[in-house]
Chain A
Amino acid sequence: MGQQEKTSTNRRPLRIGYAHVPTGVHPAAWRTSAQEPDPLDPDVLTDHVRIADHARLDFILFSPRVARSRTAWPDDPATFGRPEGFTAASYLATITGHIGFIVSGNTSYAEPYNLARLTASLDHVTNGRAGWLVTTGATDRPRALELGRELTPEEHYARASEAVGVVRKLWDSWEDEAFILDKKSGRYVDGERIHATDHQGEYFRVRGPLNVARPPQGQIVVAHHVRSDLSIDLAAQEADLVFIDDDSPEGYAPVASRIRERARTFGREADTLSIVADIVPIVAPTREEARGIYDALNVLLLNELSNDHQTAYRVLDELSQHVGIDLLPLGLDEPLDPKRLSDLNENGRALLDIVRERTGRSVADERSPRLSDLLFAYVIKGNYLIDDPEGVADRIEVLVRESNLDGVVIKPAVLPDQLEAFVSQVIPVLTRRGLFDPQTQGTLLREYFGRSKPQNRNTTSVSPLHDRFGHTG
């Protein structure tokens, strides 16, 4: 089956998630108001998540802080305002009604028994809205702990793969019918319906059973962020949901198609795996206003750099090496000389493309890019979609179609402004176009992705699933 065919003939609504980044993903986001809210304040966190919940976005993603970017500048201290995912999601569980919670759990530094407890418990308190983002020590900040030695990336991923298998088994420890709860006879559970795990693997030995009842979803949504060939294999084998990101949207299509290809070689049906890509939308009623928001954010950084010659020198030196021409004689506000730009290497030309995408300024245009534009294209990472509501919707539509994606993850540039702007301005356009459906089917996060609750692997006889705990799921 042609992948292209799938999305063009059967245009399913997109899955739209929200990645929680304290104060917003742009490094100047925290400076946009005189008194910025504290992202660790539970009321602030609640306000932000409620915006996404009320808009019926499919999920919020809590992922760990990742290593710093290539450049040491600009520093973004707001990244430290990141609550731990399981506690944050559980805090929000009973004060939200719809949104799923996908939380990272690192298989290099946590045992599968603990990961299974955390994820299954989160699924209970959210009535079936939990997801687990599998992370490994290969991509997280390095932290040599008790592993005795640094694991190779291959070992980190082998460990992850085994851990996911163990956790999946542990989730099935208790059959849905295990609870008898008969006060008269005193039988609380049926021990025959509680199953040991008896896992003996290369990295883990886990006897089981889990001490948490089967999660309402049965199997919780397993997600993985693709960052390398090794992670493509893990995603293709184990993940229900795959996150991809790339410095440029052109990078999405080949990665997505490789993941789907690998999944096929592992014998998986195409519709059991969803791929979503990060975007950073900046939206305003007009394209000019949207570009103005981006420029204004960058000006805040520029002011800092103007007062810090040492850092400015260092950053521009690094950029010069990256693009292949010496930029140091130039002032940050000076337009780039078109003649010299012909000497730019491939990196430099890619940055000019990013400048044009984000700001509309190009060499061919009368508004020639300035040195600062090139610099920000280099240091401000992310797939920025800067436009009016129709324009952002167009770009999402193109991105999803051309890369054969199932949806996108919004990383707001500034919180809450750009989250609010996206849900109030872009979501209605996507809904009108049939690309987003606020009436998601089902109540389980699995169901948002078109999957039903699976049979427990330990259930021998098929009996109607019922739930003793009054979960609405």
Chain B
Amino acid sequence: MSDIQRELHLGLMFWANGTHPCGWRMPNAHHVAPFDIAFLQNVTRIVEDSAFDFLFLGDRLASDPALQRTNPSQMCRLEPFVAAASLAAATSRIGIVVTANPTYYDPINLAQMTASLDHLSRGRASWNLVTGADEAAAGNFSRDHHWDVTSRYDRADEFVAVVRALWRSWPDSEPGHIGDQVSAFRGVATTPISHRGKVFSIDGELDLRSPPQGDVVILHAGTSDRSRELGARDADVIFAGYGNFDEARAYYADIKTRAGRYGRAPNSISILPGLTPIVAPTTQEAVAIYDQLNSYINLDPEAGTDPGPRAVALGGGGRLNLAYASQVIGVDITGAKPDAFVDPLVLVEANAVGQSIFATLTRLTRRDVTGGQRLTYRDVILACARGGSGAIVVGNPDEVSDHIQTWFENGAADGFNIFPAYNPDSVISFTSLVVPELRRRGLFRTEYAGQTFRNHLGLEA
């Protein structure tokens, strides 16, 4: 713990159809969301009114109708730069994060687009650098196969250096006085880059002045060694996927240590795990919402335990059936009726993973294998199939705030990327119920202190 007043950072992971695979089926969900720009603007205004640090626009470079079951928000969406600029037009303070993958992008295009977005948003642009674990994209980009981690990061390392150099190819971003004229241009010379690397050979400068933030904020996510190095060296924000507190702490410490080796202060890099809050005024209501969301999930047929198409990489998890669940927990529960209560002996016999899954289920649903509120096999199937996309916390505003505070104050997080299960209700409930509680506890700002995204993160321009 540091004596310096730390500030919690909050982002919204904006999957238009919600981050729960069936969020769009909730009665109030705005289910025609992905291409409804007015709706996307409205949700962005909601989190800006709560002084969120940023809105996060993910990306994926392929589509597959099969995703409608596991992850409809990843099936189709507006291209993130296009979405971001329209959202910038509707807001004035919130940071806007655009995901772009160097594996399939050109550094000059990317530098121009991020710089342009930074001008249009007056210093609120951010680039989430991902290298793409998604094999399907290769088929859309004239590639024979999906690149391995080494090839992707070799390119990404050089790519980010080129983009940074291009951002600086206009040394003065502020209009200056020349003689009796105030000029955005006069006397300002470019310093074209001349880059010769293993991957790129580039001469040139931006078509527009350097971005107002100087360096556009860079986000990164990933767990591999190369990813951690890139993040520790180049990222201002790391988006971490760990839902488990101990793993999150270890990751947090590792990144901050690596950042130190690059001469960076620990607080110059913010680590934000994902968090899915299911919150309502009372615990009981929150659990009811969680159960309702899960009630829409259709189980898979019993044959087969293979994960569905692309499911794992997209957080969709494994097969939704008893056969797969049996494999995960190490107890044969095939033949059970999904809606029946779980036999207490299953918990006794379950392996370590299974024990942990049962503990999580009880934490989320307040149900157990004994007592008045009982878990069903269906609960177990869903829990086993769920992939790790950050933690879920179900509860009243106090309980959700406790979770956030614990992680924040114990070396596991500098804030959270909030996953809304369904839109716009999950966003509204978090901002109206949890944000005020976080403010009462002195953890979160009541208003923006600065104008730019770098300001929100406490970074120098």
Binding site for B on A (CB under 8 A): 30-31, 34-36, 38-42, 45, 64-65, 77-78, 80-84, 86-95, 106, 109-111, 113-114, 117-118, 120-122, 124-125, 141, 143-146, 173-174, 179, 181, 183, 186-191, 194, 203-213, 468-471
Q: Does A470 contact B32, Cβ atoms closer than 8 Å?
A: yes
Q: Does A186 contact B86, Cβ atoms closer than 8 Å?
A: no
Q: What residues on B are CB-neighbors of A95 within 8 Å?
A: 89
Q: Does B120 contact A83, Cβ atoms closer than 8 Å?
A: yes
Q: Does A110 contact B109, Cβ atoms closer than 8 Å?
A: yes
Q: With an 8 A cutoff between CB atoms, is B88 at the interface?
A: yes
Q: With an 8 A cutoff between CB atoms, is B432 at the interface?
A: no
CA–CA, A7 to B95, complex, Å? 51
Which of B34, B63, B66, B186 lies in contact with A210, CB distance below 8 A?
A: B63
CA–CA, A84 to B106, complex, Å? 14
Determine, out of B2-10, B137-145, B346-354, the stretch whose residues face the partner at the interface: B137-145
Determine, out of B22-30, B45-53, B266-274, the stretch whose residues face the partner at the interface: B22-30
How far, in Å, is B196 (CB) from chain A's closest CB?
A: 11
Q: What residues on A are CB-neighbors of B206 within 8 Å?
A: 80
Closest to A40 in B: B119
List 12 interface pairs A-B (beta carbons < 8 Å), by A numbering: A82-B208, A86-B85, A90-B86, A91-B120, A92-B89, A111-B141, A113-B104, A122-B82, A188-B24, A209-B63, A212-B79, A468-B32
CA–CA, A124 to B40, complex, Å? 12
Q: What residues on B are CB-neighbors of A106 within 8 Å?
A: 109
Q: With an 8 A cutoff between CB atoms, is B170 at the interface?
A: yes
Q: What residues on B are CB-neighbors of A40 within 8 Å?
A: 119, 184, 208-209
Determine, out of B197-205, B280-288, B331-339, B363-371, the stretch whose residues face the partner at the interface: B197-205
CA–CA, A377 to B103, complex, Å? 47
CA–CA, A211 to B88, complex, Å? 23
Question: Number of residue pairs across A and B with beta carbons under 8 Å?
Answer: 219
Q: Does B120 contact A145, Cβ atoms closer than 8 Å?
A: no
Q: A34-B181, A211-B76, A213-B76 are in contact. Are A109 and B82 (CB under 8 A)?
A: no
How far, in Å, is B160 (CB) from chain A's closest CB?
A: 16
CA–CA, A106 to B62, complex, Å? 21
Q: Does A204 contact B142, Cβ atoms closer than 8 Å?
A: yes
Q: Does B200 contact A146, Cβ atoms closer than 8 Å?
A: yes
Binding site for A on B (CB under 8 A): 22, 24-25, 27, 29, 31-32, 34-38, 41, 60-63, 65-66, 68-69, 72, 75-79, 81-86, 88-90, 104-106, 108-109, 112-113, 115-117, 119-122, 139-143, 170, 175, 180-186, 188, 190, 199-204, 206-209, 296, 298
Q: What residues on B are CB-neighbors of A189 within 8 Å?
A: 65, 68, 75
In this complex, the member of B37, B119, B184 whose beta carbon has the largest number of chain A beta carbons within 10 angstroms is B184
Q: What residues on A are CB-neighbors of B38 within 8 Å?
A: 94
Q: Does A121 contact B83, Cβ atoms closer than 8 Å?
A: yes
Q: Does A109 contact B106, Cβ atoms closer than 8 Å?
A: yes
CA–CA, A106 to B203, complex, Å? 17
CA–CA, A111 to B120, complex, Å? 25
CA–CA, A84 to B110, complex, Å? 10
Q: Does B208 contact A83, Cβ atoms closer than 8 Å?
A: yes
How far, in Å, is B385 (CB) from chain A's closest CB?
A: 16
How far, in Å, is A105 (CB) from chain B's closest CB?
A: 9
Q: Does B207 contact A82, Cβ atoms closer than 8 Å?
A: yes
CA–CA, A38 to B201, complex, Å? 32
10 tightest A-B contacts by CB? Answer: A191-B65, A84-B116, A90-B85, A77-B185, A211-B63, A207-B139, A121-B82, A121-B79, A117-B79, A188-B68
CA–CA, A34 to B199, complex, Å? 45
Q: Does A469 contact B68, Cβ atoms closer than 8 Å?
A: no
Q: What residues on B are CB-neighbors of A207 within 8 Å?
A: 62, 139-140
Q: Does B35 contact A81, Cβ atoms closer than 8 Å?
A: no
CA–CA, A213 to B86, complex, Å? 18
CA–CA, A144 to B199, complex, Å? 12
Q: What residues on A are CB-neighbors of B200 within 8 Å?
A: 145-146
Q: Does B68 contact A187, Cβ atoms closer than 8 Å?
A: yes
Q: Does B139 contact A91, Cβ atoms closer than 8 Å?
A: no
Q: What residues on A are CB-neighbors of B35 within 8 Å?
A: 124, 212-213, 469, 471
In this complex, the member of A41, A86, A93 whose beta carbon has the largest number of chain B beta carbons within 10 angstroms is A86
CA–CA, A91 to B61, complex, Å? 23
CA–CA, A418 to B154, complex, Å? 50
CA–CA, A190 to B183, complex, Å? 56
Closest to A33 in B: B181
Which of B72, B75, B86, B142 lies in contact with A94, CB distance below 8 A?
A: B86
How far, in Å, is B135 (CB) from chain A's closest CB?
A: 11
Q: Does B37 contact A94, Cβ atoms closer than 8 Å?
A: yes
Q: What residues on A are CB-neighbors of B141 within 8 Å?
A: 111, 113, 206
CA–CA, A110 to B77, complex, Å? 19
Which of B65, B182, B184 lies in contact with A39, CB distance below 8 A?
A: B184
Which of B32, B61, B66 lies in contact with A113, CB distance below 8 A?
A: B61
Q: What residues on B are CB-neighbors of A41 within 8 Å?
A: 119
How far, in Å, is B169 (CB) from chain A's closest CB?
A: 10
Closest to A180 in B: B68
CA–CA, A206 to B62, complex, Å? 10
How far, in Å, is B30 (CB) from chain A's closest CB?
A: 11
Q: What residues on A are CB-neighbors of B115 within 8 Å?
A: 84
In this complex, the member of A84, A186, A213, A469 whose beta carbon has the largest number of chain B beta carbons within 10 angstroms is A84
CA–CA, A145 to B29, complex, Å? 45
CA–CA, A110 to B36, complex, Å? 26
Q: A87-B117, A469-B32 are in contact. Are A38 and B184 (CB under 8 A)?
A: yes
How far, in Å, is B412 (CB) from chain A's closest CB?
A: 33
Q: Does A212 contact B202, Cβ atoms closer than 8 Å?
A: no
Q: Does A125 contact B116, Cβ atoms closer than 8 Å?
A: no
Q: What residues on B are CB-neighbors of A90 within 8 Å?
A: 81-86, 89
Q: Does A183 contact B65, Cβ atoms closer than 8 Å?
A: no
Q: Does B78 contact A212, Cβ atoms closer than 8 Å?
A: yes
Q: Does B108 contact A145, Cβ atoms closer than 8 Å?
A: yes
Contacts A93-B85, A189-B65 known; list 6 others, CB within 8 Å.
A80-B190, A146-B200, A183-B24, A183-B31, A186-B69, A188-B24
How far, in Å, is A187 (CB) from chain B's closest CB?
A: 7
How far, in Å, is B186 (CB) from chain A's closest CB?
A: 7
Q: What residues on A are CB-neighbors of B31 within 8 Å?
A: 181, 183, 188
Which of B72, B175, B180 lies in contact with A38, CB distance below 8 A?
A: B175
In this complex, the member of B24, B85, B180, B207 whose beta carbon has the largest number of chain A beta carbons within 10 angstroms is B85
Q: What residues on B are CB-neighbors of A187 within 8 Å?
A: 68
Closest to B138 in A: A207
CA–CA, A39 to B207, complex, Å? 13
CA–CA, A385 to B36, complex, Å? 42
Which of B82, B143, B185, B201 lies in contact with A118, CB distance below 8 A?
A: B82
How far, in Å, is A21 (CB) from chain B's closest CB?
A: 12
Q: Does B201 contact A186, Cβ atoms closer than 8 Å?
A: no
Closest to B27 in A: A183
How far, in Å, is B117 (CB) from chain A's closest CB?
A: 5
CA–CA, A181 to B298, complex, Å? 16
Q: Does A94 contact B27, Cβ atoms closer than 8 Å?
A: no
Q: Does B142 contact A125, Cβ atoms closer than 8 Å?
A: no
In this complex, the member of B76, B141, B190 whose beta carbon has the largest number of chain A beta carbons within 10 angstroms is B76
Q: Does B104 contact A114, Cβ atoms closer than 8 Å?
A: yes
How far, in Å, is A32 (CB) from chain B's closest CB?
A: 10
CA–CA, A84 to B88, complex, Å? 15
Closest to A39 in B: B184
CA–CA, A353 to B288, complex, Å? 81
How far, in Å, is B422 (CB) from chain A's closest CB?
A: 11
Q: What residues on A are CB-neighbors of B34 within 8 Å?
A: 213
Closest to A206 in B: B140
